[in-house]
Amino acid sequence: MNILILGSGGREHAFAWKIAQSSSCNKLIIAPGNAGTNQLGTNIDININDFDAVKDLVLSYEIDMVLVGPEAPLVNGIYDFFQQDEKLSSISLIGPSAAGARLEGSKHFAKEFMQRHNIPTAKHKTFTKENINEGYEFIDSLPSPYVLKADGLAAGKGVMILENVDEAKKELKSMIIDKKFGEASSKVVVEEFLKGIELSVFIITDGTTYKILPSAKDYKRIGEGDTGLNTGGMGAVSPVPFADRFYIEKVEREIIKPTIDGLKKDNIKYKGFIFFGLINVNGQPKVIEYNVRMGDPETEAVIPRIKSDLLNLFKGIDDGTFSEKDLHIVDDITATIMLVSAGYPNDYKKGKVINGLEDITDSLLFHSGTIGDSNIKTNGGRVIAITAYGNTLEEAKETAYKDAEKINFEGKQYRGDIGFDL
């Protein structure tokens, strides 16, 4: 099969690494990809939200299957575009329909969905400029801190958490009236703050049945001890120690199954991944958010733990044999450390030469913001993810951190405390 992966991060490199190992994989194209994916297949530089450009690529490389990495093309309706195009409708696209992608594309839609299907989540209400005064009253009725979420996609920046009631009201006004996040914040979800430890659970589904992938925890803040600005993610571990078999069974019963049943009841076509962003509140898992894709850097920790042929599972989604396929997971624990550019998540410089990559033999390297063939340079804020296996989390971390020392570029930064709270 000829496979096209859309995206350019560590997630897509991890997918490419796994798919390239499948005996069913013939040609592997990554668009636009990075210096890491280029070593496993062919990078083609297109704008993945330009669906006509994706179509040209699919037809000229005789692609049989498209795996969509990030959320934007899904929310923009790439699945439906393929379905409605005479030449593309027979090509398998792993990702939900635009209706399904609203689970991530609209916080309001996701909250209504959870309410409708009895899925545990924080208490909430949605406000627009028409009822902003009720929004101020709702804030008054909640204890501090206050959680405000832009309804639409806001590049991961649309969630504000405020301690002070007046600050929270000011923020609500700034989001709705001053359009702080553009159209994305013309609607705002205000919700109850939940206190607990976060974890991510992932499934692959054909829309009817599903398989639960290993759990993971990511570390979003730039600073050690979870301080400072939010980033795309500075590291991850898999599995999450407290998410044992009984806990995951509870998540399955109360969250995963009702979600799949809810999609069916609502007549929403869904093939692909669901990423459940959960918070554990005194033993009770609640949904913080849905994502309609895998996480980054969680994928870099989760995919290496999958023993089964991932492409074979995807083929099952397409030909109706998904439920018959097995999913085998290795016992080893993984730790992923993200090396980032100086200044990230604010402004940073690109084009710094990366040294030491060839010295890494004990860890897997998943490139993120990198460019080049032999002379590899930085090309983004998150540069490279280092994933190591271990019999224990300590062992995995030790190997990953040893290798983090060996890779160098000007301004290299990383968090030294991934997994500190587990």
Residues in contact with ligand GLY by CB under 6 A are 218, 233, 291, 295-296, 298
* Number of residues written out for the chain: 422
Q: In the complex with ligand GLY, which residue's Cβ is closer, 7 or 233?
A: 233
Question: C-alpha dihedral over 157, 158, 163, 168, to 10 degrees?
Answer: 140
Cβ burial 316-329 (10 Å sphere, 16+ → b, else e): bbbeeebeebeeee
Q: In the complex with ligand AMP, which residue's Cβ is closer, 275 or 366?
A: 275
Where in 175-323 does DSSP place strands (E)?
188-192, 197-205, 210-212, 217-218, 221-223, 227-230, 235-238, 272-281, 284-291
**Interacting partner of 122 out of ligand GLY, ligand AMP, none (Cβ under 5 to 8 A depending on kind):** ligand AMP
Element at 113 (helix H, strand E): helix 107-116
147 scored as a contact of ligand AMP (CB under 6 A): yes
Cis omega (within 30 of 0) on the bond before 285? no
Considering only residues 99-128, where is the footprint of ligand AMP by CB under 6 A? 122
Rounded Cα–Cα distance for residues 362 and 385 (Å)? 13
User: At closest approach, how far in Å is the CB of 10 from ligand GLY?
Assistant: 10
The 315-354 contact track toward ligand AMP, x by CB under 6 A, reads ----------------------------------------
**Interacting partner of 32 out of ligand AMP, ligand GLY, none (Cβ under 5 to 8 A depending on kind):** none
Half-sphere exposure of 330 (CA within 13 A, CB side): 16
Contacts of 49 (CB under 8 A, 6+ apart): 72, 73, 76
**Interacting partner of 295 out of ligand AMP, ligand GLY, none (Cβ under 5 to 8 A depending on kind):** ligand GLY
The 174-213 contact track toward ligand AMP, x by CB under 6 A, reads -----------------x-xx---x---------------
Among 132, 120, 78, residue whose Cα is nearest residue 101: 78
Q: In the complex with ligand GLY, which residue's Cβ is closer, 88 or 222?
A: 222
**Interacting partner of 218 out of ligand GLY, ligand AMP, none (Cβ under 5 to 8 A depending on kind):** ligand GLY
**Interacting partner of 309 out of ligand GLY, ligand AMP, none (Cβ under 5 to 8 A depending on kind):** none
User: At closest approach, how far in Å is the CB of 291 from ligand GLY?
Assistant: 6
Element at 401 (helix H, strand E): helix 393-406
Q: In the complex with ligand AMP, which residue's Cβ is closer, 105 or 304?
A: 105
* DSSP β-bridge partners for residue 329: 306
**Interacting partner of 289 out of ligand GLY, ligand AMP, none (Cβ under 5 to 8 A depending on kind):** ligand AMP
Place of tokens 């980033």: 231
DSSP state at residue 413: B
**Interacting partner of 296 out of ligand AMP, ligand GLY, none (Cβ under 5 to 8 A depending on kind):** ligand GLY
The 383-412 contact track toward ligand AMP, x by CB under 6 A, reads ------------------------------
| Residue of closest CB approach to ligand AMP | 289
Contacts of 384 (CB under 8 A, 6+ apart): 10, 36, 338, 339, 354, 357, 365, 366, 367, 368, 370, 407
Is residue 411 packed enough to be buried (19+ CB in 10 Å), middle (13-18) or exposed (0-12)?
A: middle
> Pairing state of beta strands 28-32 and 42-43?
parallel
**Interacting partner of 288 out of ligand AMP, ligand GLY, none (Cβ under 5 to 8 A depending on kind):** ligand AMP
User: At closest approach, how far in Å is the CB of 158 from ligand AMP?
Assistant: 7
Considering only residues 262-291, where is the footprint of ligand AMP by CB under 6 A? 277, 288-289
Q: In the complex with ligand AMP, which residue's Cβ is closer, 24 or 174?
A: 174
Q: What separation in angstroms does the CA of 388 have from each of 135, 173, 238, 421?
A: 47, 45, 11, 19
Rounded Cα–Cα distance for residues 32 and 9 (Å)? 9
Number of residues this chain uses to bind ligand AMP (CB under 6 A) = 11
**Whether 362 contacts 388, CB under 8 Å:** yes
Q: In the complex with ligand AMP, which residue's Cβ is closer, 255 or 313?
A: 255
Q: In the complex with ligand GLY, which residue's Cβ is closer, 38 or 231?
A: 231
Under the rule (CB under 6 A), what is the footprint of ligand AMP? 122, 147, 149, 159, 191, 193-194, 198, 277, 288-289
